[in-house]
Every structure is written in structure tokens, then in C-alpha cells.
Amino acid sequence: MIVEIAEAAGRDSVDGLVAACFGHPGLTTWEVRADGRRFVAVSGDEALVAGDPETCAGVIAVHPTTRDGYWLVARESGLRYDVQVGGVHVGAPTTGMWLAAGPCAFEDEADVLRIAKQVRDQGAHALRVGVYKPRTSPYNFQGAGRAAFASLRAIRSETGLPIISEVLDPHDVHALAEVVDCLQVGTRNMSNQALLTALGGAPVPVLLKRGAGAPLAEWIKAAEYVVAHGNPHVIMCARGITSFDTATRHALDLGAITAVKRATGLPVVFDPSHSTGDVRLVRAASTAAAAFGADGLLVEAHDAPHTMYRPGDGPQAFPPAGLAELVETAGRVRELVEAADHAA
Amino acid sequence: MIVEIAEAAGRDSVDGLVAACFGHPGLTTWEVRADGRRFVAVSGDEALVAGDPETCAGVIAVHPTTRDGYWLVARESGLRYDVQVGGVHVGAPTTGMWLAAGPCAFEDEADVLRIAKQVRDQGAHALRVGVYKPRTSPYNFQGAGRAAFASLRAIRSETGLPIISEVLDPHDVHALAEVVDCLQVGTRNMSNQALLTALGGAPVPVLLKRGAGAPLAEWIKAAEYVVAHGNPHVIMCARGITSFDTATRHALDLGAITAVKRATGLPVVFDPSHSTGDVRLVRAASTAAAAFGADGLLVEAHDAPHTMYRPGDGPQAFPPAGLAELVETAGRVRELVEAADHAA
Amino acid sequence: MIVEIAEAAGRDSVDGLVAACFGHPGLTTWEVRADGRRFVAVSGDEALVAGDPETCAGVIAVHPTTRDGYWLVARESGLRYDVQVGGVHVGAPTTGMWLAAGPCAFEDEADVLRIAKQVRDQGAHALRVGVYKPRTSPYNFQGAGRAAFASLRAIRSETGLPIISEVLDPHDVHALAEVVDCLQVGTRNMSNQALLTALGGAPVPVLLKRGAGAPLAEWIKAAEYVVAHGNPHVIMCARGITSFDTATRHALDLGAITAVKRATGLPVVFDPSHSTGDVRLVRAASTAAAAFGADGLLVEAHDAPHTMYRPGDGPQAFPPAGLAELVETAGRVRELVEAADHAA
Amino acid sequence: MIVEIAEAAGRDSVDGLVAACFGHPGLTTWEVRADGRRFVAVSGDEALVAGDPETCAGVIAVHPTTRDGYWLVARESGLRYDVQVGGVHVGAPTTGMWLAAGPCAFEDEADVLRIAKQVRDQGAHALRVGVYKPRTSPYNFQGAGRAAFASLRAIRSETGLPIISEVLDPHDVHALAEVVDCLQVGTRNMSNQALLTALGGAPVPVLLKRGAGAPLAEWIKAAEYVVAHGNPHVIMCARGITSFDTATRHALDLGAITAVKRATGLPVVFDPSHSTGDVRLVRAASTAAAAFGADGLLVEAHDAPHTMYRPGDGPQAFPPAGLAELVETAGRVRELVEAADHAA
């Protein structure tokens, strides 16, 4: 349950509301602001709520969350969040097709800097590069970690590009947020609620990848976690889903792009690299996502994939020199489809 | 196992080959022609083959089929089949984006004729319309059946459009082939080998939809059934696959378009209507399929979906008046992506 | 829609009902008997029905089928069908755990006869053996076909065992039904409605395997097809479903056994061989199915699997000598679980 | 890569090994003990290893991990870990079918204590109860958290039962481990490597649930994370997997029980409550898991489910009074199947 309270409501009113309605031990409350408005969020079964919160002093409206499990990110809430990464509005018409690109993992400062410059010169809005790498095996490279923080600062400073990087541990959120401009939640951690809750307190936006086996509603509720805990700057990132099919690495969840945009006001981008695992399909997948209305692309790019620590990842790395053309094609396709849809 | 034999090989040579190598009761042989060449096909475990067929008189080459289960449709066979529907080459550069469109089911001759004319005037290459309808419940409309055959002849005659229609029973193949120009195998019958075998003897091409739960290799082997039994004119039709996800009706199997084109020389088209179940996504899905190299589209189209016997199917019917624009957008996107891929 | 009509209703009443209510070209009707009662089945959208069938002469009751798509097999219909294979009631308490076992494919009469005798001596109620084999590749052994019919007669005659065998082509139904006692619909043909409809006219019961990717409701509606077309003797056979998981060949759909028994009155058996593909798991899977209330087992059994035409199938063949113990263990487990459930 | 080193190897030898072979920045090393032996674990691509570690002083053997991604938990390693929860050996023949049971969430101390006593009197080996609850929506009850720690101590002290409870945040591991005897990783966090790594340092065993969409190999590698970081006491818990099927909440991954036991030496238990979501299926699922060799059961139990904060979870809660009978039935079934398998 989300209860909107008046801007002017005093501590007494809020305490009174909580005492009157949400005193049951199965309920917890906290305050949250979103789109310039003020709310009391309530976790716990709505059957445990006492009385009628609508009648309490200072209460403007009560929004049940039983059916969907989310409200702050719902299109029907009417709340809008302007999500910016390094000053660029993701999902805004003026931005066009947003592009973040870069190497899978931070390995060597000189390499990343060289790629970052190419990425920037191709018109990308942000650099993606991982310093904490989620791996299924403990014997795979786990990322450079804090040792790379100084390099990230230097690269950002030299290129002017904002940086997107994945975070795995809730307790790394604040330190990493000092050296990057957007924190990524990877597919394996979409339902890691301790991490999502911590990201609610992050001073930078969150790029939230869909879990490979996650129903759409769970993905949206994961976004609601971040927003409900104080950070309304969430970018949704579709990246393919698990199926019985092995023709490509993942089944493309393109319909989910449209579905999330219908259900919420959040920007939705697409990862053509991890969804296909095949650089030969990156342009097709980028274009297809654009046709479904994607607001941007998150592309793994490397100019010398054979030098990577895990050469096995090379086959999905897109050449930086082709990025401008890639995003321009995708942007034109999105315009073509939108124009035709509007004309119809 | 597929054994290529010389054009000039006499009955004695073939009989000798079969007697020498394929006499085991677990083996069956038959002759088949493909791409102007002559083959003996052998079903049964290759361990049961006696001697070495390569050394028999009249034998040109032996192609094992144990690993893949197909060879005649494999790209590596080097065989090429020119698939035409009503004289139009599907998958040929001169055709551009091939389009078949029309109502889900034949209900009323005047309605179908009216829609067919619109479809033709929008530049479609064929009319799709079903007279045998596969339904999960016996209490759903099963199609007009043979009662519609005369109407199909009349509509084809009046519009000049070739017709594509689904067949369910192997024993309807020849009668239906007299009134239509291409026989469709629906998703539920992709693994109906009695039907596939019968279609090997059909005088018209086959449009083979992928089973919603079928691995890619099984789909290709279903095509091999038709070709191995004498009909090399097969169009593959991707149409979405089953997954845990319900954001759209099916997960889009776009990567399968590329994968089938890499593995075989068969044309591959896409059904944006049944894969999404939502007319609002038909243009996006068509464009996305084009980005992945689809040779054509199979679109459910109706100008008055509210009059259909099952109004519930209406939401996926595309307005015929928009078809020319739909296919033009898709064609331009395919060109854009191909041109960029070639330049890269 | 299913309309129950009085036993005594004359031709005039039925014709009058059809003329008054079901004259729309989108509707088709036919008569069917089930559990000694008499029905008019109607296919087509219920919105096309004119007037109120309940008020017509001779009509006892009207059962809508829009929501579920089935009624004759629904538990709530109250209709009960006594399914017997060779005189043995499948799903009856007096039968206990029903067992059908035998080799995958008919290859050699002497082999099958030898195995059949072992199977019979182990207490099996029926012999399973395939003469029409559905294969994903045309180059796999397709079964002995009609050539084996005389042998089937001889084996049945000598062993006294009823035979279960798969049918693929609707036009083989009657010929095969002359030499076997139960016709199997394989997983690939569960949605082959031409075959299901033909089986409605078969003089023997039908064992209907679940499609590996079929939702439960589609499986039940496939059974309704057979019953609605005149054959109420249907045995449901669960056999595993497709998932992303490859730990075993299929995910075990054990909950489906219970769910079908709750929703319908049909007997449900389980195939532990094809669901696991591993003879070492056959006992575990049989027992697990029994715990979920399976009425019987369909077990692939062979005493010399290394001699099979496709030795690759050997690893799932259970030794006939262990069948009595297998079914006894399963039967005891079912009793244990049922007794505990009843006591709880 | 895992390098076994001699017990007597000095700091010099280990440092020398690392310097000689693992100096590349893409490699990281750490020491770990398992089954009384001593290892250097190496993360990073094996192609980056310099020289031949086998020839270094103090090295006993080198175990590559490239193919499987795990070795310490592999059956072929020969290492064995004796996993005890509160002094009871899980997976040992002397324990029989291990049972942990209790309410989903800690709500009220008196309620949990009452249920704990029943659970203990029914012969359970441990109490399961959650204080940190992973929820898809932030508006569901998130658990009592640290506020319940004192109650957990009191309940453990009064009943003598060891407690199993889920942990979500790596930084809660040590505090929670002081008041419970086994830390559970829930299905949503199976791939939360920050948590798994932290659990490598926990002083209590870990019960690791399978991710609902996780391939078997990823589940085993998640266990390897915990062991490789120092905690060899891992219990695997199968709990159903995602599929297209909705007949039961999850498809039962029973084959995974056997597969994990073949591949590793870890004990494997089953959760019949969350896999089925239906108390009427708990006995069937428990018995089925036992047939596949499960070493124990993790059962949600409550004597008054209608009083729970989320009554919606009630339908899966098993009555504590039936637990002894439940586990006895399961144990008998496991013995029956094992005895028959051994006799075969």
C-alpha cells in the first residue's frame, strides 16, 4: 500500500497515521518521495491495516498494491521520473536512440581508455565496463574490483563519458557510485532484494537487467523496490530470456519492451550482445529492439577481442568503429515504425 | 543415408545396390529426385548397412545422415530448390519481401473475395485463408472444409492471387492441392510425419510452420521429410515459440530465421500475427523479422474483424489497407541491415 | 456447446433443434452418445447460436463449453466411462496398478513373442509394441507397418495379451484396430485433430500421450475430441514435458497426473521410460508417479536391448524380468500415500 | 584451477608458486582447506597461467576447472564433507530421512515456539523459519529481521532444535549465524555470488536452494563458490523449476536429485511445499523425491495457517501433527526403491 501525504503534513500527522492504521507487527512503514510528491509506503498484508487511512489527517490518497505489487512505477500512477545518465535523458525524444557501449570487463586501463575514446567518438552516450563480474564458477575472473576505481575516474575524466558498471554486493553501492554514473543490476541479481533496497539509496541511476527466467511482473516489481526505497531513476534493460530453444543463446523478449512501456513510464533499453551471444546478430537484434520501441542499446564493444582474458567472450564483442552506424540504423528503424504506426 | 546415383544408372544397378547393402529388415529404401539429381534414400540405422555402398555400380556419392538427420535441405549438400508460389520466387532477390495475407478462416465467399482484392491491390503475392482449422477444442469452428473449394477456385480466378491454405489430414492433400497453390502445415502438425510424407507427393509447395515447442533441428528435419519424399518446394515459417513468459503470446524466434538460413538453403518467412497475437505489434514484429533476414511475411488480415465467427481472433487481424506500407517498411529495414552488415 | 437430448427424442425433434438454433454457417452439429446418454455436439462460437436451445422439444440440458473447451470428459459432467483394454479395467481399484510393457518397436516376431511371454508372466496387463514409429528424421527406421500385422495377431493369440500400438495416419485407424486392442496417440500427435477425430470412430480404446510442450488444458481437450467423436474410452498418459532443464530428458509432469484426475474422470497412466530416457531412473519415476496417483505404467521393456535396430534406445529399456517387482513397488507406494492422505 | 599443496609446504613455496605461475593480472589466488587437505584456488582463464604448476615446490596435484567450473564438490575429486546441522549428519545412513519443518516466516514468538515443539515431537531434526523474507514486491512483509534474533535463541534453547533460516544480505551472514544453525540461500539468490562468497566464511552449514530457472551445472557451481571460499558444509535443496506448465506451481526437478548425487558427494534434500504450492500434494511430492534418493525434506508446516500474516500462503502449509507419518512414508519408499534397485 502506498499512501500519499500532503507536503505540509507534520510529523504528528504521519506518526498518527502510522499509529492508527499500521501498528500491526506484520506491517512496516517508511517515507519515500517520488516526482516531487510525498508518500508513506507500507509493506505487509493489507488485511492487517486498521481503520481507513483515507480518513487520517494529512492523507491525500491511498493506492492499494495487492493486485500488481507495484504502483510508483506504474503508468497509471501518473508519476514521471526523468532518468539521466551523466546529464543525458534516457528515453527522451531529444536524445534519440541512447547508446552505452564498451568492453565486458575492465582488464587494462590503457585498453579501456582506447576503447572508450572510440566509443565516445562514435557518439555513444556512456561507457559500459564491468569491475565486478558475476560468474557461475568461482574459477572465472571475478573482475578487477576496487583496484580499478582510480582508473575509472581517470577514464571518465579524460573522455568525459559517463560510466555504467555492475554492482553485486549491497555494501559496494556507495563506493562504486563515487566513480561511476549508473549502477547496473545484472540478470542474476534482478531478484536480489537486499541489493535492490540498497540501490534505493544510491545517488546515481540504476540500469536493471531482466532476470533470464523472470516473469515480466517480477521485473517491474524489482524496479519498484528501487523506487520505493528512494531512487526513482531506473532504466529497464531487456536482454533475452531462457527457453527450450538453443538456436540463439536466449529467446528475444522484444514484446517485453512494449509491455513494460505500456505498464510503466520507465525507459527501456536492450542488450543485443548478451541476448544473442553472436556479434553477427548484434545489428539485427538492435534493429529489432528498436522496432519494438527500445529507448536505447547496451552493446558490448571491443576493438581487439582476441586479447581479452576470456577470449571465449570475444565472439559477441562488436567493433567500436561500427557503433555510429549501428545506432543510426536502429534509430531510423524506430522512426520508420513509429511513423507508420501513427499514420495507421 | 542418402546415396546419389548416376542419372544413367539402370534398374539393375539400383536393385543391385539395394540388395547388396540395404537388405536388412531394419532398412527401407526409396528413390527421390532433387535439384535435377537422383538419389536412393535409406531409412534405418547405418550400422545395419552391409558392405560399402560407395563401391556399388552407379553410385556417385554417399551422404551419412546420422549426425544431423537431414541432408537434402542442408546448405552443405549444395542442392538448391527454386520455391515458387503461383510463379513468384520466394526468397529471390528479385521478389523482395514476399507477402501472403488474408483472413484467418474462410467464412463467407463475398467477404474473402473483398479482402482478397484489397490484399492484391496492396501488392501481396498470395492470399492466405484457412478452410481446415486446427482447434484445441472440438467445439470451436473447424473450418468450412470441402464446401469452400468452389469458392476458392472462384476467388483465385477472379483475383489472380495464388492461395495458401492449411491441410490437416494426409488424405486431403491432393484434393486441396487442386484448388490452392501452396499447402500450409500448422504449428500443431509440424511433427505429423504421416502428413509430411503425404506432402512429399503434393504437386504444390509446402509452407511449414515451426512447432511452438520444437527445437530448431526438428523443424529442419520436418522439412527434410517433405523433400525426401519428393517435394523440394518448402518454405519455412517461424511463428514464435513457447516459453515461461506471457508478456506476448509467444517468444519471438527471430534468431531461428538466421539459423535456418545458415543451415539450409530454404526460404524462411515469418508470421507476425500468430506470434504476437496483437495487431499493435504486427508492424514491429514484421520489421524485427526483416532485420533478421526473413524472406517474407504471412499476415492475418481482415477489414472487419468484428464480423468474424470468432471475434476473439479479431485483435490480431491487420487492416488490409496498411499492407503495402507494412511490407515496404519491412523491406527497407532488411535492406538497411543487410547493407550495413555487408559494409562492416 | 453440448446439448443433452432425451433418449426418446425423435428425428423431428433433433432436426427442429438444429434448424431453430444451429443454422448459422459458422456452426456444425453432430450426435454423440456417452455413458448411455444422448447429446448433440455443436462446434462454433456460442454467440452464433439462435434462440434458446433449452426451450426446444427433446432438450434435457445445455452445457456451454466456451470457458473450458471440454465437457464430456469433465468430472463435473458426472459422466463416467469404463475404460477396458482387453477386458481389464484401467483405473479400477480391482485392477490395482495397471501395467503395459514391451519393446519400443516391432522388429522381429520371435523377439517380440519371447519378450511378450516374459511380460505376461510378470503380470503385465498388456503388451506395448510399435509398428508405426514417429521419427524426427526420415532416415530413421519408420517401423514395420502393415507387414507386422500378421505377427501381431499371432503374438496376441499365443500369449493372450492385449496389444497397444501407436497410430500415425487417420486412415490406418481401422486396419490397426483389427490387430491391436488399444491405439496409442504419441506425444507428437496429441494435437493432430484429424487423427483424434478419426479415433472417435475406433472400436478400441485410445491411449493419449501428452504433447511434450502441451498445456494441461490442451491435453484434456484432445481427449474431448476423441470422446466427442464417439469413443469415450480414453486413457491419459503423462510422459514428461519440455523445459530449459537437461538434467533428465524431460521434466516430470507428475502434478499433471493429479490435476487431470481432479478435472476429469479419465484414467491416467505414466511412461517412466520416455520421460527419463534412463533405465536407472525407471523405478524411481514409476514410484513417483504412483505417489501422485497414477493408475498404471507404460514401460519400455526389452531383454536384449543391444540387439535393437537402434541400439541408442537401449539405455531406457527395462529388463522384463524386473517388471513384477517394479509394479508391485509402485502399487505399494500408491497405497501407502493414499492411506496416509485418507487418514490425514 | 585448483592446486593441491602439501600440508608441510611453507609460505615460501606457496608464494613461489603464485609468483611463478599466477602473476598475470587476470588471475587471482587464495588458499582453501577441504576434507583436511590444502589447496590454492585460482580464478581466471587457464590460458593465462605461466609455466607448469605441477613442477613447483610443494605442489601435489593440479586440477583444471575449465570444463565443469567446479572440482571441490565433484564426486571425482574424492573429497568428502560431513555435513551436520546441529550435530545431525544430513545424508548419512544412520540419520535416515532428514526432516526440517516449520512456518514460512517468523511472526510471533509464541506461535513459532508452539509449532517448534510439535515439529520436534514429530521427530524433525531441525526447525525452518524465516526472518528475512525475499519478496517480489516491496509491499509484502519482509520478515521480522534482527528483531526476531532473541526469540530464535529462546526457541532453540527451549526446544533443543537447530534452526535453519534464510539470509539475503552478505553482511547479515555472521550475525544470523550466531542465532541459527544453518543458513539458507533461497531460489532467487542462488546466483548471488557476493552472498555465496560471504557464506564461504560462515561458521555454519549452508542449505542452497536451486534457482527456479537455473541449469543443473550452475547450481553445482554455486555450491562450489561456498566450498571454494572455505565452507564445505553445503546441503543442496531441489525445489521445482520453471516451465511453460502451470498444472502445478513448478515442474518437479526430481531427476536433478539423482543427477546431483551422481556428480557430487553433497547431500540433496527436497522442498515439497514450495515446489507444489499445494498441501494436498506435499505427501506425494515428498514420496516422489524419496524415490529419487532425496536425503531429506524441507517442509513448510503450520498448525493454524489462517492466522498467518499472508493467509495466501496457508494452502501450502502442512499440519505439524502429520510430519512423523510423512517422513516415515518417504523413508520407507526410499528404502523400497533402493532395495529393489540393488537387487536388480
Q: Read off the pLDDT of residues D87-96 as tens digits, 9 standing for 90 and up.
A: 999 999 999 9
Pick the CATH number of C84-343 from 2.60.120.480, 3.20.20.70, 3.30.110.30, 3.40.50.11270: 3.20.20.70
pLDDT for D312 equals 66
Of A48, A134, A221, the CB nearest to D193: A134
pLDDT for B246 equals 77
Q: What is the mean pLDDT of residues B13-32?
A: 96
pLDDT for A246 equals 77
Of C27, C142, C194, the CB nearest to B169: C194
Distances from the Cα of A133 to the Cαs of A137, D124, D191, in angstroms?
Answer: 11, 40, 12
List pLDDT tens digits, range C251-281. Answer: 999 999 999 999 999 999 999 999 999 999 9
Name every chain A residue with its beta carbon within 8 A of the beta carbon of C213: 244
State the Cα–Cα distance between residues B293 and B275, nearest whole angstrom: 17
Neighbouring chains of A at 3+ CB pairs under 8 Å are B, C, D
List pLDDT tens digits, range C276-307. Answer: 999 999 999 999 999 999 999 999 999 999 88
Name every chain C residue with its beta carbon within 8 A of the beta carbon of B1: 139
Q: Which residues of D lie inside 8 Å of B (Cβ-Cβ)?
A: 213, 242-244
Q: Which of C74, C16, C111 is nearest to C227 (CA)?
A: C74
pLDDT for C319 equals 97
Q: What is the mean pLDDT of residues C190-215?
A: 97
3-class secondary-structure state, position C99: strand
Report how far Cα D1 is from the mean position of its chain's Cα atoms. Answer: 24
Strands (E), chain B: 2-5, 28-34, 37-43, 59-63, 84-85, 88-89, 98-102, 126-128, 163-166, 182-185, 206-209, 234-238, 268-270, 296-300
Rounded to a whole number of angstroms, the distance from the CA of D289 to the nearest CA of chain B is 24
Q: What is the mean pLDDT of residues A165-175?
A: 98
Distances from the Cα of A283 to the Cαs of A299, B237, B287, D272, in angstroms?
Answer: 10, 22, 13, 45
C100: number of Cβ within 10 Å: 30
Q: Which of D326, D337, D334 is nearest to C329 (CA)?
A: D337
State the Cα–Cα distance between residues A319 and A271, nearest whole angstrom: 15
Q: Is C118 left (phi over 0), alpha (psi -120 to 50) or beta?
A: alpha
Q: Hey, are the CB atoms on D140 and A44 less than 8 Å from each other?
A: yes
Distances from the Cα of D180 to the Cαs of C101, D120, D202, in angstroms?
Answer: 51, 16, 11
State the Cα–Cα distance between residues C233 and C82, nearest whole angstrom: 7
* Cβ proximity of A226 and B225 under 8 Å: no
Determine the residue among D241, D244, D245, D250 to mutate to test chain B binding: the one whose Cβ has the most chain B Cβ atoms within 10 Å. D244
pLDDT at B312 over 70: no
- Adjacent-strand bridge partners of A344: none
Q: Hey, are the CB atoms on A168 and D108 less than 8 Å from each other?
A: no
pLDDT at D243 over 80: yes
pLDDT at C220 over 70: yes
List pLDDT tens digits, range C19-65. Answer: 999 999 999 999 999 999 999 999 999 999 999 999 999 999 999 99
Which chain A residue's Cα is nearest to B339? A329
Grid cell 600440508 is found at: D7
Of C241, C292, C325, the CB nearest to D245: C241
pLDDT for C311 equals 66
pLDDT for C245 equals 85
Name every chain D residue with its beta carbon within 8 A of the beta carbon of B213: 244
Q: Hey, are the CB atoms on C253 and D251 less than 8 Å from each other?
A: yes
Determine the residue among A3, A137, A176 to mutate to test chain D binding: the one whose Cβ has the most chain D Cβ atoms within 10 Å. A137
pLDDT at A314 over 90: no
pLDDT for D311 equals 66
What average pLDDT does chain C have?
95
List pLDDT tens digits, range A57-110. Answer: 999 999 999 899 999 999 999 999 999 999 999 999 999 999 999 999 999 999
Which chain D residue's Cα is nearest to A147? D25
- Adjacent-strand bridge partners of A163: A127
C168: number of Cβ within 10 Å: 27
Q: Hey, are the CB atoms on A251 and B242 less than 8 Å from each other?
A: no
B95: number of Cβ within 10 Å: 17
pLDDT for B75 equals 96
pLDDT at A313 over 80: no
Report how far Cα C172 is from the mean position of its chain's Cα atoms. Answer: 17
pLDDT for B248 equals 74
Name every chain D residue with its beta carbon within 8 A of the beta carbon of A135: 43, 193
Neighbouring chains of B at 3+ CB pairs under 8 Å are A, C, D
pLDDT for B228 equals 98
State the Cα–Cα distance between residues A128 and A111, nearest whole angstrom: 13
Q: Hey, are the CB atoms on C213 and A243 less than 8 Å from each other?
A: no
Confidence bin at B184 (pLDDT 50/70/90): very high
Concatenated DSSP letters of A249-294: SSBB-HHHHHHHHHHBS--EEE-HHHHH--GGGHHHHHHHHHHTT-
Q: What is the mean pLDDT of residues B36-49?
A: 96
pLDDT for B249 equals 84
What average pLDDT does chain D have?
95
Q: Hey, are the CB atoms on D242 and B244 less than 8 Å from each other?
A: yes
Q: Hey, are the CB atoms on D284 and C276 less than 8 Å from each other?
A: no
pLDDT for B313 equals 66
Residue A42, all three cell numbers: 507500507
Q: Hey, are the CB atoms on D107 and A26 less than 8 Å from each other?
A: yes
pLDDT for A224 equals 98
What average pLDDT does chain A have?
95
Residue B248, all three cell numbers: 506476448
pLDDT at B310 over 80: no
Q: Which residues of B24-54 are buried (b: 16+ CB within 10 A; e: fewer)?
A: eebbbbeebebeebbbbbbbbbeebbeeebe
pLDDT for B133 equals 95
Determine the residue among A131, A136, A173, A229 to mutate to test chain D binding: the one whose Cβ has the most chain D Cβ atoms within 10 Å. A136
Q: Hey, are the CB atoms on C326 and D340 less than 8 Å from each other?
A: yes
Rounded to a whole number of angstroms, the distance from the CA of C326 to the nearest CA of chain B is 31
pLDDT for B311 equals 66
3-class secondary-structure state, position B123: coil
pLDDT for B245 equals 85
Q: Are strands A206-209 and A182-185 parallel, antiparallel or unpaired?
A: parallel
Which chain A residue's Cα is nearest to B245? A215
Confidence bin at D341 (pLDDT 50/70/90): confident
Which chain A residue's Cα is nearest to C250? A244
Q: What is the mean pLDDT of residues A211-231?
A: 97
pLDDT at A15 over 90: yes
Neighbouring chains of C at 3+ CB pairs under 8 Å are A, B, D
List pLDDT tens digits, range C73-121. Answer: 999 999 999 999 999 999 999 999 999 999 999 999 999 999 999 999 9
Name every chain A residue with its beta carbon within 8 A of the beta carbon of D41: 138-139
pLDDT at D310 over 80: no
Burial group, residue B243, by CB count within 10 angstroms (0-12, 13-18, 19+) = buried
Q: Hey, are the CB atoms on A213 and C244 less than 8 Å from each other?
A: yes
Distances from the Cα of B163 to the Cαs of B93, B121, B125, B182, C198, in angstroms?
Answer: 22, 15, 9, 6, 27
Q: Which residues of D lie inside 8 Å of C (Cβ-Cβ)?
A: 213, 215-216, 241-248, 251-256, 258-259, 276, 280-281, 283-285, 287-289, 291-293, 319, 322, 325-326, 329, 332-333, 336-337, 340-341, 343-344
Q: What is the mean pLDDT of residues D179-185?
A: 98
Rounded to a whole number of angstroms, the distance from the CA of B274 to the nearest CA of chain A is 13
Q: pLDDT higher for A309 or C6?
A: C6
pLDDT at B343 over 90: no
List pLDDT tens digits, range D49-104. Answer: 999 999 999 999 999 998 999 999 999 999 999 999 999 999 999 999 999 999 99
ipTM, 2 dp:
0.96
pLDDT for D249 equals 84
Q: What does the domain layout of chain C look like in residue ranges?
A: 2-70, 84-343
Which chain C residue's Cα is nearest to A242? C244
Confidence bin at C246 (pLDDT 50/70/90): confident
pLDDT at B189 over 90: yes
Of A169, A192, A310, the CB nearest to D45: A310
Residue A257, all three cell numbers: 519492451
Q: Hey, are the CB atoms on C107 and B217 less than 8 Å from each other?
A: no
Rounded to a whole number of angstroms, the distance from the CA of A255 to the nearest CA of chain D is 17
Size of interface A-C (CB pairs under 8 A): 7
Q: What is the mean pLDDT of residues B290-300?
A: 98
Rounded to a whole number of angstroms, the distance from the CA of C122 to the nearest CA of chain A is 38
pLDDT for C247 equals 72
A77: number of Cβ within 10 Å: 18
List pLDDT tens digits, range D138-166. Answer: 999 999 999 999 999 999 999 999 999 99
